[in-house]
């Protein structure tokens, strides 16, 4: 079983839609969580950290459920520029992050 | 310019050749990392370094060698390139500050082994 699992998509949504991605992680000892965004095989860029209490950054909301070991990302009012691959990322003890394979989002006009 | 840079950005080499990919960061980050990204596998850790002269293997380290004689540089060497090492290679760095685990990535090197 992969350490971090995501639905690869693609999720095709119209502009203005709300879309949610989920991600599950296998190691209950994981202690830090992030969402990264990656455009067309360019470098991944940090979108936001995910905190236990949930956190929001503009149109983006991240939630963490430690009991069920899943992380979610909600995007409201989708823009064309949101089209990208979203990577779920966890830190478990080691010094390096573990990345999911990504969920592809395509926002259509 | 500030940030994390990689060179070359594109490289084509032949099977059996030695290749070195360069990574340089100007933030004085303690930690540096090398990942490879292949379709269907996502990003996989090759090696990482917690400080100068301290390196450790990741999940796919076979066939690769790293060194870190200076904090700002973390070169990755393919000792004898194989076709299976055709990939996009990303270097990343982060601070050593406890609780600050976000990593920042370089633009990547696209390597093709023929």
Are A102 and B107 within 8 A, CB to CB?
no
Mean predicted lDDT score pLDDT of chain A: 93
B25 vs A108: CA distance, rounded Å: 37
| Cβ contacts of B58 on chain A, cutoff 8 Å | 96
A46 has a pLDDT exceeding 70: yes
- Residue B87 pLDDT exceeds 80: yes
Which tokens sit at A47?
């979108």
Please tell me the distance from the alpha carbon of residue B38 to that of residue A4, in angstroms, as a whole number: 16
pLDDT at residue number A53:
85
Q: What is the pLDDT of residue B105?
A: 96
pLDDT in tens, A25-41: 999 888 899 999 999 87
CA distance B44 to B30: 20
DSSP class per residue in A69-108: TEEEEEE-S--GGG-EEEEEEEE-SSSSEEE---EEEEEE
Instruction: From B90, B92, B82, select the one nearest B109 (Cα to Cα).
Output: B90
- The residue ranking higher by pLDDT, A16 or A9, is A16
Binary contact (A96, B50; C-beta < 8 A): no
Query: Could you tell me which residue, B8 or A29, shows the higher pLDDT?
Result: B8
Q: Which residues of B touch A44 (CB under 8 A)?
A: 43, 90, 105
Instruction: Name, in order, each residue with C-beta under 8 angstroms of B39's C-beta and a sequence gap of 6 or more.
Output: none
CB of B105 within 8 Å of a chain A CB? The answer is: yes
Asked if A99's CB is within 8 angstroms of B42's CB, the reply is yes
pLDDT at B2: 66
Contact of B45 with chain A, judged by CB distance below 8 Å, is answered with yes
| CB spacing of B107 vs A43 below 8 angstroms | yes
C-beta separation of B41 from A101 below 8 A: yes
- pLDDT value of residue B1: 57
Q: What is the mean pLDDT of residues A84-102?
A: 88
Please check the confidence at residue A67 and state whether its pLDDT lies above 80: yes
Asked if B48 and B58 touch (Cβ cutoff 8 Å), the reply is yes
What pLDDT was estimated at residue B72?
96
Check A96 against B108: CB less than 8 A apart: no
Provide the 10 A C-beta neighbour count for residue A75.
22
The confidence band for A57, taking pLDDT boundaries of 50, 70 and 90, is very high
Look at A95 and B48 and tell me if their CB atoms are within 8 Å: yes
Residue B63 has pLDDT above 70, yes or no: yes
* Residue A22: per-residue pLDDT: 94
Q: A49-63 burial string, b = 16+ CB within 10 Å, else e?
A: bbeeeeeeeeebbbb
How far away is chain B from the Cα of A17, in angstroms, using its nearest Cα? 27
Interface residue of B102, B107, B110 to substitute, partner A, most A CBs within 10 Å: B102
CA geometry: angle at A39 spanning B77 and A16, to 5°?
165
User: Would you say residue B109 has pLDDT above 90?
Assistant: yes
Q: What is the mean pLDDT of residues B75-86?
A: 97
Q: Given the DSSP bridges, would you call strands A11-14 and A103-108 parallel, antiparallel or unpaired?
A: parallel
């Amino acid at each position: 079983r992969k350490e971090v699992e995501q639905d690869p998509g693609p999720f095709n949504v119209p502009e203005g839609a709300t879309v949610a991605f989920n991600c599950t992680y296998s190691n209950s000892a994981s202690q830090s969580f992030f969402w990264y965004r990656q455009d067309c095989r360019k470098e991944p860029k940090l979108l936001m950290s995910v905190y236990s209490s949930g956190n929001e950054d503009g149109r983006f909301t991240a939630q963490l459920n430690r009991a069920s070991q899943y992380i979610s990302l909600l995007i409201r009012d989708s823009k064309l520029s949101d089209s990208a691959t979203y990577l779920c990322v966890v830190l478990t003890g080691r010094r390096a992050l573990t990345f999911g394979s990504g969920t592809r989002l395509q926002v259509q006009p | 310019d500030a940030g994390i840079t990689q060179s070359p950005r594109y490289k084509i080499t032949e099977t059996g050749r030695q290749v070195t990919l360069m990574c340089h960061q100007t933030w004085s980050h303690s930690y540096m990392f090398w990942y490879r990204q292949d379709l269907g596998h996502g990003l996989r850790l090759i090696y990482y370094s917690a400080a100068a002269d301290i390196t450790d293997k990741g999940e796919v380290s076979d066939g690769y060698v790293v060194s870190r004689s200076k904090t700002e540089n973390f070169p990755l060497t393919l000792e004898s390139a194989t076709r299976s090492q055709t990939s996009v290679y990303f270097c990343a760095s982060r601070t050593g500050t406890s609780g600050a685990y976000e990593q920042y990535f370089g633009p990547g090197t696209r390597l093709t082994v023929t």
